[in-house]
Structure 1
């Protein structure tokens, strides 16, 4: 049985612009994101990984590289199949403006019928990511593989393997630098963990304790 670790990239500052990032180049991890990625790398240091795949964007590659720091025998392999949603004409637009469009409500309430003008349909994105995961499983049977990519795609994959309709995929929470574990063999899939952020929470606690210690001095 192949174990897939579906990992969302750590945080970045682009969200502060209020725009839809998509495939916008030059979106890097910020200081907090770098700390999250470092905690993630330490969390996975003792895991026997056979391969590390990542979406080709900077924020995903940087997160994946933090894992490689503890697995120097591996290299990050880019995989377009787990790349971000192609938002087409919406990419780089202000989310506040997009909310007024009719398709925005379809994306939120009926995503199986939603599509992005000049980009992908949501149902095609789900098929793309599931096909990518299945191809990786076929390529690495019985191994543990880390994949670093994006929240919506991880949600779609989890929904698929849980047997949840795409229209309900937004009910699943996938946080930055989280780990979701799916196990795939010859029969039924197993979703072992969803949105595991214990390493991020531990990092925050350590920072708070250090800060409180400084305040007492």
Structure 2
């Protein structure tokens, strides 16, 4: 079966401000996220992508812009099914403030029961994004062959849900998965009864967060990075 390269969008102005962006309009990449996007074509050099699928939100479009400028003939499709979770009344609020909401305890420990006020459930989000991934993977196999490689650019919680499904993990365990902005996760789905293979997770090519007492270490240890909604910064 084809190989999926699952890309999280670059860091956004909401990520760096500690806000839950959700589906709010006008949330683009910050300066660091723009640099991550600019580095993406080089990271993917030599990889023959069959097509690109992306969330229609601005931050995913901006993340892909340098790659698509380099590869102008690459078929590209926006899919509403892989847009951000609908966080409803939580959208745009500070993550520090949301930490005090009673619902947050459910989001942290029992996310399969979490329903955002005025929004959707995490269970519903997982169902739609997994359906989209598997539909596109089957389409790529039919149109481009079993050895094809394709790219999907989406959001942090979506990627956590997709990886949990691929590993056979209950949604209640998906908070143990933390994909960084602009990271690439590789999954190969097999025809049933073959189980999916997680080939690579969260690859950014950047290990600076593990060097103590550096700006990168402080950035990636920030409270916003450990937030249980929105994927972190």
TM-score (norm 1): 0.88
Larger radius of gyration: 1
- Cα deviation for residue 46 of structure 1 reads 1.2
Aligned-residue offset at 1:70:
3.0
Question: What is the aligned-residue RMSD (CA, Å)?
Answer: 1.8
- Whole-angstrom distance in 1 between the partners of 2:96 and 2:189: 39
**Deviation larger for 10-19 or 114-123:** 10-19
State the partner residue of 1:109.
109
**For 1:121 and 1:72, how far apart are their aligned partners in 2?**
37
What stretches of structure 2 of length at least 5 have no aligned partner? 209-213, 215-233
Distance (Å, rounded) in 2 between the aligned partners of 1:14 and 1:121: 22
1:145 to 143, 150, 153: 150
1:196 is the counterpart of 2:199: no
Say yes or no: does 1:177 pair with 2:182: yes
Contact 1:45 1:70 in 2 (8 A): no
Q: Deviations over 1:125-172 (max 9, x none)?
A: 111110000110121102211011111110111011101111111111
| Structure 2 residue aligned with 1:77 | 77
Partner Cα separation in structure 2 for residue 167 and residue 136 of structure 1? 25
* TM-score normalised by the chain length of structure 2: 0.82
How far residue 201 of structure 1 moved from its aligned partner, in angstroms, is 5.0
Show CA shifts across 1:172-206 (max 9, x none): 120011000000121221110001111x459xxxx
Cα deviations by residue, 1:21-67 (Å, 9 ceiling, x for unpaired) = 10111111122111111212211121100111111111111112222
Deviations 1:103-128 (A, max 9, x none): 11100111011110111111111111
In the TM superposition, residue 95 of structure 1 has moved relative to its aligned partner by 2.2
Consecutive unaligned residues of structure 1, counting only runs of 5 or more, are 203-207, 209-217
Which whole-Å CA distance do the structure 2 matches of 1:16 and 1:193 have between them? 26
The whole-number CA distance in structure 1 between the counterparts of 2:27 and 2:100 is 26
After superposition, residues 36-185 of structure 1 pair within 5 angstroms as: 36-141=36-141, 142=146, 143-185=148-190
Q: Is the 8 A contact 1:52 1:64 kept in 2?
A: no
Query: 2 CA distance for matches of 1:106 and 1:87?
Result: 14
Give 3-state SS (helix, strand or coil) of 1:69's partner: helix
Q: For 2:101 and 2:162, how far apart are their aligned partners in 1?
A: 27
